[in-house]
Amino acid sequence: MDQYRDFAFIYDELMNEVDYDGWVRYIEDIIKDENAQVQNILELACGTGNLTIPLTKKNYDIAGIDISDEMLSVAREKAEKEGVELVLLQQDIAELDFDIINLDCVLCACDGFNYITYDDDLENVFAKTHELLKEEGIFIFDISSFYKLSTVLGNNTYGENREDVAYMWQNYFDDEENLVEMELAFFVKDEDGKFDRFEEVHQQRAYTEDEIVEMLEEAGFKNIKVYGDFKLESPKEDSQRIFFVCRK
Ligand SMILES: C[S@@+](CC[C@H](N)C(=O)[O-])C[C@H]1O[C@@H](n2cnc3c(N)ncnc32)[C@H](O)[C@@H]1O
């Protein structure tokens, strides 16, 4: 079952409580803290452009890549409405193929790398990113923490009943493979007031900080910093979002 197919068209509605402006500010704080010179950014797993569009408005030159045509079509529609020009490519980042090199920054936000479930694939993404960056180029990304995927989302079930959309979200955590399987069922109100049902199964990999740091070192990255929960400080045991910042 494809991920982010029908879900793409209600993704922004369900993410409406995420503070993307704060996310953009945090990314800019990191860039400032690192004293990095950033004009161009390649954004991996850019989705519906929730960071791509505001960062473009801040005059960064951005190209976004995502595997889901549907997420990209929503991004295109939003960009057009806001009069923003975006370069968007449909690609599996596990087989990243981008021919512009000497990039200032590569970015991946909000779980993009949790969707890369095999070590080999993530190692390939890191190696390719290293290749694409300029000397001293900066790589910024975040993942949902091992704690969040194994314990918070873990084997729990969530649901929400909104006016126009309702969903059931059942999780199963496999502690041998460190994979969480998310079974999502959505009910979306159509023009006649009836609810259409669709389902998606998502799989996310829980990575420890040490696993990621080891892979980054293997790919040749240096000055690796690990932050938790939108602070420029080390993560705590119960941090749910872990940020990695490193340089070529
Ligand atoms: C939770 S969404 C985050 C989207 C966006 N970064 C944001 O902050 O709203 C995860 C995104 O990862 C994308 N994705 C998952 N696996 C991918 C892959 N192998 N290659 C490229 N994109 C992928 C999905 O299509 C989806 O758009």
Predicted confidence band at 192 (pLDDT cuts at 50, 70, 90)? very high
The H or E element that residue 64 is part of is strand 61-66
Residue 218 pLDDT > 90: yes
Residue 1 pLDDT > 70: no
How does pLDDT run across 30-69, given as a tens digit for each residue? 999 999 999 999 999 999 999 999 999 999 999 999 999 9
Residue 13 pLDDT > 70: yes
How far is Cα 213 from Cα 38, in angstroms, rounded to an integer? 23
Predicted confidence band at 206 (pLDDT cuts at 50, 70, 90)? very high
How far is Cα 143 from Cα 109, in angstroms, rounded to an integer? 7
Q: Which of 45, 43, 48, 44 is nearest to 72 (CA)?
A: 48
Pick the CATH number of 148-204 from 2.60.40.650, 2.20.25.110, 3.30.300.30, 3.40.50.300: 2.20.25.110
Q: Six-digit token pair at 197? A: 């049902």
- CB of 111 sitting under 6 A from ligand 1: yes
Q: In this structure, how many other beta carbons lie within 10 angstroms of the beta carbon of residue 19?
A: 10
Residue of the nearest CA to atom 6 in ligand 1? Answer: 46
- CB of 10 sitting under 6 A from ligand 1: no
Q: Six-digit token pair at 174? A: 């496999």
C-alpha distances out from residue 20 to 24, 135, 240, Å: 6, 29, 16
Contact yes or no for 92/116 (Cβ under 8 A)? no
- CB of 88 sitting under 6 A from ligand 1: no
**What is the distance in A from the centroid of ligand 1 to the CA of 92?**
10
The conformation of residue 71, written as its DSSP 8-state character, comes to H
Contact yes or no for 245/30 (Cβ under 8 A)? yes
Same topology, domains 8-144+207-247 and 148-204? Answer is no
How does pLDDT run across 69-124, given as a tens digit for each residue? 999 999 999 999 999 999 999 999 999 999 999 999 999 999 999 999 999 999 99
> Which pLDDT value is given to residue 142?
98
Domain map (residue ranges) of the chain: 8-144+207-247, 148-204
User: Taking all residues of the chain, what is their mean pLDDT, rounded to a whole number?
Assistant: 97
Q: Return the ligand 1 atom nearest residue 112 CA.
A: 12
Residue of the nearest CA to atom 18 in ligand 1? Answer: 92
- 3-class DSSP state of 225: strand
**What is the distance in A from the centroid of ligand 1 to the CA of 93?**
9
Pick the CATH number of 8-144+207-247 from 3.40.50.150, 3.40.800.20, 3.30.70.980, 3.50.50.60: 3.40.50.150
Residue 2 pLDDT > 90: no
Residue of the nearest CA to atom 14 in ligand 1? Answer: 45
**What is the distance in A from the centroid of ligand 1 to the CA of 192?**
31
